[in-house]
């Protein structure tokens, strides 16, 4: 049996990828019990997509994209149609006046926008503009909150590429791979980390700029106050299992 069709031990539920005929951006992975009848499946899907149970038709596709069944009998259990993990359950909305038609749930350009004239907005006493003006009048000397270019530079004084380190939160361990500014991330100083485990978000390239190189999902860019350098050896993955 293909790996994609293996169920979790002790769990007879099936994970299906759900799509919708009218909602092109709608896609969800939903777990179902094979003992649920088709009507119960529709009830569960109605709460997620808005198509009513009576106007919903369901088609089942395998992981190669081939249609394997039309779930036309609401009394049949889902398991009758032999679904497996990774199969696609496609919702067809048969109601021409459904809330899912016409793009109303996806295209915000179809929604009428509320507008207010500058004159009317200026007369309002509960606007954000009035709130900001009041704050400034109460404390006119307060400086604008802005991150400086040398933000946290002093904390980087003892960091150098190659240092072992620990990153908070989570006590994630790794190696310092970059110390310096990163304009694409924001003003101030940053520290590039290669984690020992795949706990990162990238391979050292962030927003089109390569700061360092490391295996995929092992890289992270964090502020210096989250990093401690020192004697932080790589953890033995089996040490917690020892008695």
pTM, whole model, 2 decimals? 0.41
Q: How confident is the model at residue 108 (pLDDT cuts 50, 70, 90)?
A: low
CA distances from 152 to 158, 183, 212, 224 (A): 12, 14, 20, 7
Residue 191 pLDDT exceeds 70: yes
Residue 145 falls inside a structural domain: no
What is the C-alpha to C-alpha distance for residues 210 and 50, in angstroms, rounded to an integer?
44
> What string of DSSP letters covers 154-213?
GGGTT--TT-EEEETTTTEEEEEEEEEEETTTEEEEEEEEEESSS-SSBSSEETTEE---
Question: Diameter of the chain by CA atoms?
Answer: 74
Mean pLDDT of 114-123: 81
* pLDDT, average across residues 174-184: 94
Residue 110: is its pLDDT beyond 70?
Answer: no
Indicate which CATH number applies to the domain containing 172: 2.30.30.190
Domain that holds residue 84: 14-93
Is 115 part of any domain?
A: no
Q: Out of 37-41, 127-131, 164-168, 203-207, which region has the weakest mean confidence (pLDDT)?
A: 127-131
Would you say residue 113 has pLDDT above 90?
no
Q: Rounded to whole angstroms, how far apart are CA atoms 41 and 131?
A: 50
Among the listed ranges 12-21, 67-76, 108-117, 152-161, which one has the minimum average pLDDT value?
A: 108-117
Query: Of the candidates 45, 73, 93, which is a domain's last residue?
Result: 93
Domain boundary among 93, 126, 145: 93
**pLDDT of 7:** 43
Residue 2, pLDDT above cutoff 50: no
Least confident of 33-37, 95-99, 147-151, 174-178: 95-99
Structure tokens at 132: 């900001």
């Amino acid at each position: 049996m293909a790996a994609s069709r293996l169920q979790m031990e002790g769990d007879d539920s099936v994970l299906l990828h759900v799509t919708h005929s009218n909602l092109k951006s709608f896609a969800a992975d939903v777990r179902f019990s094979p003992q649920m009848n088709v009507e119960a499946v529709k009830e569960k899907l109605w709460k997620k997509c808005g198509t009513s149970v009576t106007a919903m038709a369901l088609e089942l596709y395998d992981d190669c994209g081939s249609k394997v069944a039309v779930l036309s009998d609401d009394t049949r259990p889902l398991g009758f149609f032999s679904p497996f993990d990774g199969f696609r359950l496609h919702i067809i909305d048969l109601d021409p006046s459904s809330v899912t038609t016409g793009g109303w749930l996806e295209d915000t350009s179809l929604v009428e926008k509320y507008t207010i004239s500058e004159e009317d907005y200026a007369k309002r006493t509960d606007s954000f503009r009035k709130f900001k003006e009041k704050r400034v009048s109460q404390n006119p000397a307060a400086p604008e909150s802005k991150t400086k270019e040398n933000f946290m530079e002093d904390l980087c004084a003892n960091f150098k590429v190659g240092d072992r380190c620990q990153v908070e939160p989570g006590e994630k361990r790794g190696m310092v791979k970059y110390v310096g500014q990163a304009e694409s991330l924001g003003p101030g100083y940053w520290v590039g980390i290669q984690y020992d485990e795949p706990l990162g978000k990238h391979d050292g390239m962030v927003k089109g700029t390569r700061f360092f190189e490391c295996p995929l999902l092992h890289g992270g860019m964090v502020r210096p106050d989250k990093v401690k350098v020192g004697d932080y050896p790589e953890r033995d993955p089996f040490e917690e299992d020892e008695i």
